[in-house]
Amino acid sequence: MLVAAGTVLVLAALLPLLSLVTELSATGRAALAVLRGPRPWELFLRSTGLSALVTAGALVVGVPLGVLIARSDLPGRRMLWLLHLFPLFLPPFVLALGWFHLFGRTGLLGTEATARTLFGGAGVFWVLWLAFTPVCTSLVSLSLLGLDASLEEAARLVGTPARVASRILAPAASPAIALSAIVVFALTISELAVPMFLRVDVFPAAVFARLGGIDYAPGEAFALALPLVPLSLLLLFFERRFVGPRSFAVAGLRGMSRDPLPLGPWRPVATLAAWSLGLVSLAPLLVLLVRATRGGGLQELPRWVGRAPWTSLLSGAVAATVIATLGLVLGHAAARRSRGATALDALSMLAFVTPAPILGVGLIAVWNRSWTQAVYASLTILVVGYVARYTVVGVRAVSSVVLQSPLHFEESAAVAGARFSRRLARVVLPLNLRGVIGGWLLAFVFCLRDLETAVLFYPAGREPLTVRLFTLEANGPPSVVAALAVAQVTLTGAVLALGVLALRRSAR
């Protein structure tokens, strides 16, 4: 079963990466000439610098906010966490659209000065920082919720709350901090829609222009993807060095039931700052709803939305089911240190941290052939792309709960003569059902929010809702575009609500 799951992952994720070598050898030196000019390297440095700035900003705010949510007496910290986390599950382009309707020239609070600020590097940083800071906040919070309470209690006997936070909690969350930095950097450098919408040239846009624009040149797109390969390997090296296959063993929010660290006189200031950030994150979503309502976009929505929501739901659900199945096998193997599991875990992480243009052009190279049109010209290609990029979500979700389940149950079943498939279905799955459902839900939401991968190879006439929104932004009525964004928010919220209900039922 491990070999079968590994084969699926290799076909979905590794084969597209290896195909770049074949494609470049076929196109020859003519395609590589695109890298000789200064423009590609200027865009590459700009994208790398932007990703570094967004990552630094997310760490500066996300780490202390994660500590406050997990271990302080901050009022309403559970609700704050939910409000702060929700924008992460949306395409950043939706947030950018909301800020445009607020601070653009025709926005509710727009002036020439606010429009100039928004349409530039500062605006891109602001949108992506708000979108990706919850990654750092949530990973740090989850790490601290799984921390051994005795370490904290011993420190509280002899130290102040500030000293406990700086000397115990922050070092204990160092793997989560490292992982969040890697994830934020990878998501930022893959981002395509926000910089394009806010008129900032970035490296992924150069690749996209040669695959979906008037400068169609697939050979040059393959060549432009080359500088991103060493960057992907570097991100994988950092992940293996500072995080590795270790996961955060958190079975729920039990850590919030401990005595929280008192903030003392800093409580009003921390409360104001934390809740202001949470409410600011939701401001563009409310503006989109107002814009869609006032302009009649909600009434026109059925005529413009087409089959896009059903495409998103169907492809996302199928991909999430495949990912959850792979996650059950590979996540269990990674937690139990089975032979070959570490390499497959590394491959799934490599596919996730690899910038989307590399994975996208690799998938095109593998599947855009006459004898594979049954895959490339149907929704199957979307499923393949989602599985390639987001399998690590299912693997890590399952491995984190398997680490908490007693090994002797599996050993007892093995002694009784149960084969591995039977042990997996009758012992591992029931014991870790909550982790499997959680992995399926996270994978489904990531597939729903995906734009930068799917926009490169979605089948004609079967675009997901994110792509429909992105392509209509330039020429569609503003109120209808805002309504499409509201539809994306509503769809994501409904999926999350149903997923939370399923998680609660599984916990019983």
Let me know if residue 192 belongs to a domain.
Answer: yes
pLDDT value of position 257: 54
pLDDT value of position 241: 85
Token pair, residue 301, equals 């929505």
For residue 111, pLDDT over 60 is answered with: yes
Q: What's the maximum distance between 2 C-alpha atoms anywhere in the chain?
A: 75
Indicate the range of 236-250, 261-275, 418-432 predicted with least confidence.
Answer: 236-250
Q: Is 159 exposed, middle or buried (0-12, 13-18, 19+ CB in 10 A)?
A: middle
- Are the C-beta atoms of 314 and 321 separated by less than 8 Å? no
pLDDT band, very low/low/confident/very high, at 18 (cuts 50, 70, 90) = confident
pLDDT band, very low/low/confident/very high, at 246 (cuts 50, 70, 90) = low
| CATH, residue 405 | 1.10.3720.10
pLDDT value of position 214: 56
Let me know if residue 20 belongs to a domain.
Answer: no
pLDDT, tens digit, for every residue of 451-507?
988 888 898 888 999 999 998 887 888 899 999 999 999 999 999 999 888 887 766
Let me know if residue 27 belongs to a domain.
Answer: no
Let me know if residue 34 belongs to a domain.
Answer: no
For residue 380, pLDDT over 80 is answered with: yes
pLDDT, tens digit, for every residue of 412-453?
888 888 888 888 888 888 888 888 998 999 999 999 999 988
Let me know if residue 188 belongs to a domain.
Answer: yes
Helices (H), 295-355: 297-305, 308-335, 341-353
Helix (H, G, I), strand (E, B) or coil at 344: helix
Let me know if residue 256 belongs to a domain.
Answer: yes
Mean confidence (pLDDT) of the chain: 87
- Are the C-beta atoms of 105 and 115 separated by less than 8 Å? yes
- Are the C-beta atoms of 80 and 69 separated by less than 8 Å? yes
CA pair distance 481, 367, nearest whole angstrom: 32
pLDDT value of position 128: 96
- Are the C-beta atoms of 203 and 46 separated by less than 8 Å? yes
pLDDT value of position 124: 95
Containing structural domain, residue 86: 2-15+41-507
pLDDT value of position 421: 87
Helices (H), 257-306: 267-294, 297-305
pLDDT value of position 253: 46
Letter for the amino acid at 116?
A: R
pLDDT above 70: percentage of residues in the chain: 93
**Between 255 and 207, whose confidence is greater?**
207
pLDDT value of position 249: 47
For residue 250, pLDDT over 90 is answered with: no
Question: Nearest 5°: CA angle at 256, between 83 and 400?
Answer: 85
CA pair distance 251, 300, nearest whole angstrom: 44
Indicate the range of 167-176, 234-243, 252-261, 377-386 predicted with least confidence.
Answer: 252-261
Let me know if residue 23 belongs to a domain.
Answer: no
pLDDT, tens digit, for every residue of 23-49?
666 655 666 777 788 888 999 999 999
CA pair distance 368, 366, nearest whole angstrom: 6
When pLDDT is averaged across residues 260-282 and rounded to a whole number, the result is 90
Q: For 107-114, which contacts have Cβ atoms below 8 Å and span 24 or more sequence positions?
A: 107/287, 108/287, 108/290
pLDDT above 90: percentage of residues in the chain: 44
Model confidence, pTM: 0.89
pLDDT, tens digit, for every residue of 338-360?
888 889 999 999 999 888 888 88
Q: Is 321 exposed, middle or buried (0-12, 13-18, 19+ CB in 10 A)?
A: middle
pLDDT, tens digit, for every residue of 117-147?
999 999 999 999 999 999 999 999 988 887 7
**149-158, 246-255, 271-280, 453-462 — most confident range:** 271-280
pLDDT band, very low/low/confident/very high, at 186 (cuts 50, 70, 90) = very high
Let me know if residue 193 belongs to a domain.
Answer: yes
CA pair distance 266, 171, nearest whole angstrom: 22
For residue 369, pLDDT over 60 is answered with: yes
Domain count, the chain: 1
